[in-house]
Structure 1
């Protein structure tokens, strides 16, 4: 499944894990993407990949 929100465009970003001894390893910060049924701007019902922060903020009209 795509890891990009279709509403806000949120996507994975890279960062670092930093231990107590300051050893640095790579990591990914991934958004919580869910596939939900929505009603788009034209009134059609379809499936979309949406992050949970957009669902909580009410940016999508659920079908």
Structure 2
């Protein structure tokens, strides 16, 4: 399974670390993806959601 938010699709970004001498090496920035139980179609289900979607209230938590 991919490391993606099931609500907004946020995942990993790639780019380069740049040193003082301007050398570039590949690196990844990982999205802050959390596993949690949420109500999906009236039933609790484990989903992967980014913290921005959790804070914005785009998901209904199942306790």
Provide TM-score, normalisation by structure 1.
0.88
The CA distance in 2 between the partners of 1:21 and 1:59, in whole Å, is: 44
Q: Which runs of 5+ in 1 are unaligned?
A: none
Q: How many residues align?
A: 62
SS in structure 1 at match of 2:17: strand
In angstroms, what is the RMSD of aligned CA positions? 1.2
Q: Which runs of 5+ in 2 are unaligned?
A: none
SS in structure 1 at match of 2:53: helix
Establish whether residue 46 from structure 1 lines up as the match of residue 45 from structure 2: yes
Runs of 4+ aligned structure 1 residues displaced above 2 Å come to: none
